[in-house]
Chains A and B, each alone.
Chain A
Amino acid sequence: GEDVEQSLFLSVREGDSSVINCTYTDSSSTYLYWYKQEPGAGLQLLTYIFSNMDMKQDQRLTVLLNKKDKHLSLRIADTQTGDSAIYFCAEILYNTDKLIFGTGTRLQVFP
């Protein structure tokens, strides 16, 4: 099937690290993405990782990829209240431009 799975909810204290997990479906997916959606808004691309990489770091964001387990994670260091949003992982299915999204994880940051 084409179900990309994420945990529904994550709550963290401001200043702590957040880790959002995702299990994707296609072991041949070439690109995997993390998008952020704030209330009432469209989706904003945060970062992406190519399938031949294990890790990618971009300022406060670290993406880890475990191809064997088809597991993707997003770590946000020093989480701020402005990071409160829904985070979606997404994959490009092999040999297509078809972009499939996960169910989303709602991150709530409290002071």
Chain B
Amino acid sequence: EAEVAQSPRYKITEKSQAVAFWCDPISGHATLYWYRQILGQGPELLVQFQDESVVDDSQLPKDRFSAERLKGVDSTLKIQPAELGDSAMYLCASSLAGLGTEAFFGQGTRLTVV
């Protein structure tokens, strides 16, 4: 069964270091989302891609976060420099696009900044 792949599953990094997460969506899914989920809260949308284009990054802290999806397939989310408050689960999801289509989620990357 097709699934959204994310790596790594877990990452521990020191504050001020750079960290990157990778996501491979389900083949053919044009829409890709990155969410951040702080412990005890709901997922918060960071960035949304339609193919290779960013359609919403209004909640992305652009001074330290960047995201790209160069060929409209897999995507990378980077944090530089990491801060203690960035500790969270980072979830990637993809959908075929179009209103109402199901968004499929990966297992997430749990980031701990120490």
Q: Name A's B-contacting residues (CB within 8 A).
A: 4, 30-31, 35, 40-45, 48, 50, 88, 92, 96-104
Q: Indicate with 1 or 0, residue by residue over B15-44, a CB within 8 angstroms of chain A CB atoms.
A: 000000000000000010101000001111
Contact of B100 among A4, A48, A88 (CB under 8 A): A48
Contact of B105 among A43, A48, A104 (CB under 8 A): A43
Q: Indicate with 1 or 0, residue by residue over B43-83, a CB within 8 angstroms of chain A CB atoms.
A: 11100101000011000000000000000000000000000
**What residue in chain A is nearest B56 (Cβ atoms)?**
A98
Tell whether, in the assembled complex, residue A30 and residue B100 are in contact, meaning their CB atoms are under 8 Å apart: yes
**What residue in chain B is nearest A31 (Cβ atoms)?**
B100
Tell whether, in the assembled complex, residue B102 and residue A102 are in contact, meaning their CB atoms are under 8 Å apart: no
Asked if B87 is at the interface of the complex by the 8 Å CB criterion, the answer is no
A48 CB to nearest B CB, Å:
7
Contact of B33 among A4, A30, A99, A102 (CB under 8 A): A99
Contact of B42 among A30, A31, A88, A96 (CB under 8 A): A88
What is the interface size of chain B, counting residues whose CB is below 8 A from a CB of the partner?
28
Tell whether, in the assembled complex, residue B102 and residue A98 are in contact, meaning their CB atoms are under 8 Å apart: no
List residues of chain B with CB within 8 A of the CB of A50.
100
List residues of chain A with CB within 8 A of the CB of B108.
41-42
Q: A41-B107, A48-B102 are in contact. Are A101 and B42 (CB under 8 A)?
A: yes
List residues of chain B with CB within 8 A of the CB of A41.
107-108
Q: Which 6 A-B pairs have the closest CB atoms?
A: A42-B105, A101-B42, A31-B100, A43-B105, A101-B43, A103-B42
17 contacts between A and B (CB under 8 A): A30-B99, A30-B100, A31-B100, A35-B105, A41-B108, A42-B106, A45-B103, A88-B42, A97-B48, A97-B50, A97-B55, A97-B95, A100-B45, A101-B44, A102-B42, A103-B42, A104-B42
Tell whether, in the assembled complex, residue A31 and residue B105 are in contact, meaning their CB atoms are under 8 Å apart: no
Give Cα distance in the complex from A35 to B102, angstroms: 11
Q: A31-B99, A31-B100, A43-B91 are in contact. Are A99 and B45 (CB under 8 A)?
A: yes
Give Cα distance in the complex from A96 to B100, angstroms: 10
List residues of chain B with CB within 8 A of the CB of A102.
42
